[in-house]
Structure 1
Amino acid sequence: MSKIEIKNLTFGFDALTDLLFDQANLVIDTQWKLGLIGRNGRGKTTLLQLLLGNYAYSGTVNHQLEFTYFPQSIDDKSQLTYDCLQELAVFDQWEIERELNLLKTGPDILWRSFDSLSGGEQTKALLALLFIDDRHFPLIDEPTNHLDITARQQVAHYLQTKKQGFIVVSHDRSFVDEVVDHVLSIEKSQLVLYQGNFTTYEEQKEQRDRYEQEENRKLKKEVSRLQQTAAEKAEWSRGREKDKQGKPSQKGSGAIYDTGAIGARAARTMKRSKAIANRMEQKAEEKENLLHDIEYIDPLTMNYQSSYHKQLLKVEELQLSYAEEPLFDPLSFEIEQGQRLAIQGANGSGKSSIIQFLLGEFKGETSGYATFSHDLSISYVRQNYEDNTGTLPEFAQTHHLSYQELLNNLHKLGLERNVFTNRIEEMSMGQRKRVELAKSLATPAELFIWDEPLNYLDVFNHKQLEEVIKMVQPSMLVVEHEATFLQNIATKIIYL
């Protein structure tokens, strides 16, 4: 039985930022199907890179494994996909075609340039390469990005039937639930290992948090009681000190003005006060050891404007085509105020094309009609937001947003304050996604149109968005592959 042993692992990117790992210790059985979870920025991908030996660190990482990492890096994406994959690994053509067929993707994508493939097709090509490798231990980082529900189920089925272990990072709760038997959570102050799937992790994490919050409440109550007792003792001592300065009593009488008796009682009181102070200090230390790993999920704000129109959008017999090839059968639907319509379907079925058509951006052939209510205000989250540039103040001014509201939501979404001064084009994809989402949340709108809003967001962000949507009850049109999210927020789902 092989193991990965981590001892006293300490790592940070530079002296100006907090350590991601500080004296971390962990033993991983390589037979486990391990889900690695945690808030964005906690170090999930970094931990995989440390296992690969790509960063210098202090401590030790012991194993007898050869790792393979997903997603593999493509240097020249203008090459044929087949040639790109051949540069990454040695395989026979029939092997890669077999895996693509199992992923319901035509092998013809091998003979197109890699950069011409959709995000889902690129992901499937790299997954096919991963799946034919049975010699290395897989480190799988976000395999579900850009994949539709069917493809996610196919990848989940592959990992379920895989005999060897792996480590997978994913924010898709349903996917993690299906494929893992252990969960490693990177929390604020420690690594915590759970036996079971994501649901088990959530239940046990909730129990731990409830226990620590209850213990914290008890300790606060105890400290408050001790403080009150200490104050009463101090007040008594001050009163007795005044008595000692009053008229003297007869020697040895024991009367109230007996300064010897008063002094002895004051000494005992002082001793008890010191004991109380020690107990308070002990309780305070106990409190300090609690609540370190509780995730406080701050509620987001959403600038939803209620419309005086009952019906916001009506679509009748809509059909979209490229080169006279329809993407889907004629489609009719409507969105009324307060309704949240979700569109699901396979990659390439036309979900994003519907949004492009509604916004006047579709380049193919169209038939049918779409009617918006008069002067309807729309807020849009795009799949491609690489044209967001400049500083955050410049961005807010360009889009006529409240800068303070934009910053508040960005901070609540987990964007670190030290990133606020960066230019948007210099941010990571996850950080840039938060800017796009915070822009939409801050835009006053009667209808929110979101195209795959959850890509690059962590599970806690998913919950934040669910909570603000359930609280505000906005009118929405949503395209998303994450089934749990849609079950929690959609009032109606249509399938292409």
Structure 2
Amino acid sequence: MSKIEIKNLTFGYDQQEQPLFDHANLNLESTWKLGLIGRNGRGKTTLLKLLQGQLPYTGEINQQLAFVYFPQTVPDPSATTYDVIDALSPNELWQVQREMNLLKLSDDILWRPFQELSGGEQTKVLLALLFSDEDHYPLLDEPTNHLDMTGRQQVAEYLQAKQQGFIVVSHDRHFIDQTTDHILAIEKNQLELQQGNYASYQQQKNRQDNYEQQQNTKLKKDISRLQTTAREKATWSFSREKDKYGDPRIKGSGAIGDTGRIGARAARVMQKAKNLNRRMENEISSKQDLLKNIETVDPLGINFQPTFHKQLITAKNFQLSYQDQPLFAPLTWQLNQDECLALVGANGTGKTSLIKALLGQFTGETVGELELPRNSQISYLRQNYEDNHGSLTDFAEENQLDLELFLNNLHKLGMPREVFRSKIESMSMGQRKKVELAKSLATPAELYLWDEPLNYLDLYNQDQLVTLLKEQRPTMILIEHDQDFIQAVAQQTVTLHAEKQ
């Protein structure tokens, strides 16, 4: 068993006002199955890079481990999967095949070009490569991206069965629940390490947040009471001073009664008022850490333009094919105004191809009917958005976006203001995903086509989308592998089944 000891770790990027880590201290065991969680931009991937010695920092990171990182960079995606494995793996092919079999992968994919594998198949191949190397400690960064529901469950069971420890970053709460026995949360102002899975961490955090909210409410009431009392005593003291010397604003007024006694009492009351103010300041100071780790999110906006059409899309015995090979069995369904329809099915059954057909971009053969109103305004959120580039302002102008809505949504999604000055191509993958999402939300549309919107989004962003879609009810076709999200926002589901040969 090895340890990872972090002492007084401090690190921040040049463009950031505050460091991501400020004199952080941690002790981790290499036998743990550690889930690394936190909002986008908090430093999860950065911490993995720091462990690998890829970034400069102050402080100490002491460990005797050799790390291996997922996802690996594939040097030539056009090569066969066999050649990719041969180029990346230090082990024998049979060792990789052993892990592939555990991940339910057929050996047939070895002779297919790696780039032609589905996203889920590529993920499983890279995981098989990773875990075939038992001499290195795995660092898994978002392994659930592009995995369908079956694939996520297969990978979760695969990691459950592993005897070795690892660190995994994921925003899929069920996946983290299934695969981890410790949680490291990068919160707003601290690192929180707990034994257990995500559910136990969330339960403890909810208790802490509720306690801090209650204490904050009590503090506000106490401060309000002290402020009222201080004002009353200061007002009384001032009025007594007027009785002692007379009001200089009124000609002929003068002192009444025992001015010494009045002055002494007024001074005592004024001192009490000052003491109350000092006590109030002390209470505020003593409670200044309250709410420091409570996450808050603002509601998102959407440029939805409802149409007069009650029925937007009709599919009758519709089917897509490539070279006479059907992607899925014939489908019949319809999408009405204000409905969200979820397309579900295993990777490779043609869900994205169906969206391409709706956009008029499918290059294969079609059978049956697929109808939607002419000149419909459509907003498309893509899986791949590497072609987004330039400044945010130029990007918004180029895509004819409502600039204020676009930038406001980016900020509400958690993108720091200082990143607004960066070029899109230099942003992290999570930030680039938010640009694509904010673009879709700011595009005036009657119909939204969203292809895996949750990839790279943290749990708070996911909850924002649930709230938005439930409240605004934009007409939408959605591809997603998160069952909870589908159940929360979709009024109907259409399952694509591979056509039997």
TM-score by length of structure 2 reads 0.92
Q: Contact 2:10–2:24 at 8 Å: present in 1 too?
A: yes
SS in 1 for 2:286: helix
Point out the more displaced range, 369-378 or 353-362. Answer: 369-378
Q: Which residue of 1 aligns with 2:44?
A: 44
Amino acid at match of 1:170: S
Structure 2 residue identity aligned to 1:162: K
Query: What aligned pairs does 1:26-65 form with structure 2 within 5 A after superposition?
Result: 26-65=26-65
Q: Could you tell me which residue of structure 1 aligns to residue 142 of structure 2? A: 142
CA displacement, residues 120-178 of structure 1 (integer Å, 9 cap, x when unaligned): 33222211112223333221111011111111111100111122222110011221121
1:409-450 deviation per Cα after TM superposition (whole angstroms, max 9, x unaligned): 111112222222333333332222212111111122222111
Partner amino acid, structure 1, of 2:111: W
Shift of 1:78: 4.5
1:76-87 correspondence runs (5 A): 76-87=76-87
Q: After the TM superposition, which residues 62-73 of structure 1 pair with which residues of structure 2 at under 5 Å, given as runs?
A: 62-73=62-73
Contact kept in structure 1, 2:15 and 2:418, CA below 8 Å: no
Provide the C-alpha distance between the structure 2 equivalents of 1:403 and 1:341, rounded to a whole number of angstroms: 29
Alignment match, 2:250: none
| CA contact 1:13–1:19 (8 Å) conserved in 2 | yes
Cα distance, 1:488 vs structure 2? 1.3
Distance in 1 (alpha carbons) for counterparts of 2:14 and 2:441: 33
Which residue is equivalent to 2:430? 430
Q: Once the two structures are superposed, what CA deviation does each residue of 1:213-258 show, in whole Å capped at 9, x if it has no partner?
A: 22111111111111111112211221222233259xxxxxxx9732
Is 1:196 paired with 2:196? yes
Tell me what 2:408 maps to.
408
User: How far apart are residue 375 of structure 1 and its match?
Assistant: 4.2
Deviates more, 1:378-387 or 1:83-92: 83-92
- CA-CA distance at 1:287 after TM superposition: 3.5
Distance 1:375 1:89 in 2: 51
- Contact 1:5–1:26 under 8 Å retained in 2: yes
Q: Does 1:322 align with 2:322?
A: yes
1:372 equivalenced with 2:344 (yes/no): no
Partner of 2:252: none
Question: What is the correspondence of 1:306-321 to structure 2 with a 5 Å cutoff?
Answer: 306-321=306-321
Stretch moving more, 22-31 or 398-407: 22-31
* CA drift at 1:79: 4.2
Partner of 1:157: 157
2:103·2:158 contact (CA, 8 Å) conserved in 1? no
Measured in 2, the distance between the counterparts of 1:49 and 1:427 equals 16
Other-structure match for 1:360: 360
Alignment of 1:262-273 (within 5 A): 262-273=262-273
How many angstroms does 1:462 deviate by?
A: 0.9
Amino acid at match of 2:487: Q
Q: Secondary structure at the match of 1:493?
A: strand
- Equivalent in the alignment of 1:341: 341
CA displacement, residues 440-483 of structure 1 (integer Å, 9 cap, x when unaligned): 11122222111111112211111111110011112211111122
SS where residue 4 of structure 1 aligns?
A: strand
Task: Give CA-to-partner distance per residue, 1:309-356, whole Å, 9 cap, x none.
Answer: 221111011121112111111111111122211111111111111111
2:486 maps to 486
Q: Report percent identity of matched pairs.
A: 58
- Coordinate RMSD, CA, aligned: 2.2
Code of the aligned partner of 1:331: L
**1:381, 1:15 → 2: CA distance?**
29
Q: 2:281 matched to 1:281?
A: yes
Instruction: Tell me the amino acid that sits aligned with residue 378 of structure 2.
Output: I
Q: Which amino acid aligns with 1:167?
A: I
Instruction: Give me the whole-angstrom Cα distance separating, in 2, the residues matched to 1:161 and 1:103.
Output: 11
CA distance, structure 1, for counterparts of residue 400 and residue 418 of structure 2: 24
Letter in 1 for 2:476: M
Amino acid at match of 1:258: D
Distance in structure 1 (CA, Å) of the matches to 2:400 and 2:165: 50
Structure 2's unaligned 5+ residue stretches are 248-254, 497-501
Contact 2:86/2:93 (8 A) holds in 1: no
8 A contact 1:173–1:484 mirrored in 2:
no
The code of the aligned residue for 1:146 comes to: H
Give distance in 2, aligned partners of 1:358 and 1:442: 20
Task: State the distance in 2 between where 1:326 and 1:445 align.
Answer: 31
